[in-house]
């Protein structure tokens, strides 16, 4: 059980008052008494990541990713959100593979929506556990769900665990990547969700020490500006430099469908140990999780102010 997980509990306290015993019963689940919303915790996001990584390599088709899906759904079931599974069969160079995006919806009132996404699959490589690449995004998303629980919202906020980001065969090429985001973007275009989305923030490889994000030129400029300005206002400019680079990641699937989207990713191979067996928990820092968590939570509030 990671820290910060609030399980329903019933506490019975016997308190003596003037020789009498008053029974005080606190029920912290259901409607009787709702716990105050918690702030995003980098330590808790790190702990969730640790738990995912402990399952070992989590490529699509593995028993470990099936266990991880069950863990994600069990966690989300405690968060007071609507959880939907988006299952599909991906046609990959290695044949058909079952995949599933997991979508948690925290409802607002405006009819508009904001999305936080990230991928939870890991690249199929010998000895690769993907602490930063696949692990950190999973931990971040689980902690976003914890921090969103019990808050009054303007817009719907979706926390989306994307499957199949990684190429199945060797490295990223053609359509052998972003299976989950492409599937969900097409689905949302068809069911009208796309039109309701004010912005999508994708997180990927944001848990490493010496966090320095890519200033991605493929991201929607106005949304990138909003997030980078929020980072500056919180004193995190060092982690959010403004040297343009172009990234291909899950956000592209949504941008292609007409959604404003930004990718938050540290792609410095020196600090991320990208696609090597050295991408392990000891390379991560809870403070990096905390920085991204605070910036994203504040960015959601700013987006909610927009029409
Ligand atoms: Zn990767």
CA of 166 to the centre of ligand 1 (A): 6
CA of 260 to the centre of ligand 1 (A): 23
Over the stretch 227-262, which tens digit does the pLDDT of each residue have? Answer: 999 999 999 999 999 999 999 999 999 999 999 999
> Three-class SS of residue 22?
strand
CA of 12 to the centre of ligand 1 (A): 48
CA of 181 to the centre of ligand 1 (A): 14
- Alpha helices in 163-268, H assignment, sequence order: 179-191, 193-196, 221-233, 251-256
- Per-residue pLDDT, averaged over 213-218, amounts to 98
- Per-residue pLDDT, averaged over 190-209, amounts to 97
Q: What is the pTM of this model?
A: 0.88
| Integer Cα distance of 170 and 43 in angstroms | 33
Sign of CA dihedral 185, 189, 194, 196: negative
Burial string for 227-236 (b: 16+ CB within 10 Å, else e) reads bbebbeeeeb
| Integer Cα distance of 221 and 276 in angstroms | 32
Rounded mean pLDDT of the chain? 90
CA of 123 to the centre of ligand 1 (A): 6
At residue 16, the pLDDT reads 40
Please work out, in degrees rounded to the nearest 5, the angle formed at the alpha carbon of residue 263 by the alpha carbons of 261 and 269: 165
CA of 104 to the centre of ligand 1 (A): 23
Over the stretch 130-143, which tens digit does the pLDDT of each residue have? Answer: 999 999 999 999 99
At residue 77, the pLDDT reads 97
CA of 64 to the centre of ligand 1 (A): 17
What CA–CA distances, in Å, run from 290 to 38, 155, 239, 304?
Answer: 13, 23, 12, 21
CA of 194 to the centre of ligand 1 (A): 26
Over the stretch 34-92, which tens digit does the pLDDT of each residue have? Answer: 668 899 999 999 999 999 999 999 999 999 999 999 999 999 999 999 999 999 999 99
Contact 86, 193 (CB under 8 A): no
Sign of CA dihedral 92, 53, 202, 242: negative
At residue 36, the pLDDT reads 81
Structure-block tokens of residue 89: 């069969």
CA of 147 to the centre of ligand 1 (A): 26
CA of 13 to the centre of ligand 1 (A): 50
Q: Which residues pair with 104 in a beta bridge?
A: 83, 159
**72-76, 163-167, 170-174: least confidently modelled range:** 170-174
Contact 24, 15 (CB under 8 A): yes
Return the H-helix or E-strand segment holding 200: strand 197-204
CA of 151 to the centre of ligand 1 (A): 33
Phi/psi at 61 (5° precision): 95, -10
Q: Which residues pair with 20 in a beta bridge?
A: 17
Phi/psi at 290 (5° precision): -65, -45
CA of 174 to the centre of ligand 1 (A): 15
CA of 172 to the centre of ligand 1 (A): 9
CA of 112 to the centre of ligand 1 (A): 31
| Integer Cα distance of 103 and 101 in angstroms | 6
CA of 110 to the centre of ligand 1 (A): 35
Residue 213: pLDDT above 60?
A: yes
Tokens 């690249």 label which residue?
123
CA of 185 to the centre of ligand 1 (A): 20
């Amino acid at each position: 059980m990671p820290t910060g997980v609030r399980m329903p509990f019933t506490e019975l306290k016997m308190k003596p008052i003037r020789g009498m015993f008053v029974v005080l019963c606190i029920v912290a689940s259901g409607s009787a008494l709702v716990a105050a919303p918690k702030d995003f915790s980098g330590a808790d996001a790190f702990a969730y990541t640790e738990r995912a990584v402990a399952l070992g390599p989590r490529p699509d088709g593995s028993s470990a990713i099936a266990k991880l899906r069950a863990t994600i759904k069990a966690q989300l079931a405690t968060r007071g959100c609507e959880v939907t599974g988006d299952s599909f069969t991906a046609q990959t160079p290695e044949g058909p593979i079952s995949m599933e995006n997991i979508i948690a919806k925290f409802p607002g009132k405006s009819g508009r929506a904001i999305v936080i996404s990230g991928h939870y699959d890991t690249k199929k490589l010998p000895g690769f556990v993907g602490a930063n690449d696949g692990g950190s995004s999973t931990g971040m998303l689980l902690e976003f769900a914890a921090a969103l629980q019990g808050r009054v919202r303007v817009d719907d906020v979706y926390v989306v665990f994307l499957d199949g980001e990684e190429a199945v065969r060797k490295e990223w090429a053609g359509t052998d990547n972003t299976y989950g985001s492409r599937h969900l973007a097409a689905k949302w275009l068809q069911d009208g969700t796309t039109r309701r989305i004010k912005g999508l923030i994708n997180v990927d490889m944001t848990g490493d020490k010496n966090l320095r994000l890519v200033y991605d030129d493929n991201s929607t400029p106005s949304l990138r500006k909003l997030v980078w300005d929020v980072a500056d206002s919180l004193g995190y400019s060092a982690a959010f430099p403004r040297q343009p680079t172009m990234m291909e990641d899950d956000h592209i699937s949504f941008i292609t469908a007409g959604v404003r989207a930004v990718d938050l990713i540290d792609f410095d191979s020196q600090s991320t140990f990208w696609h090597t067996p050295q991408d392990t928990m000891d390379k991560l820092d809870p403070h990096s999780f905390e920085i991204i968590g605070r910036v994203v939570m504040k960015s959601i509030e700013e987006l909610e102010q927009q029409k």
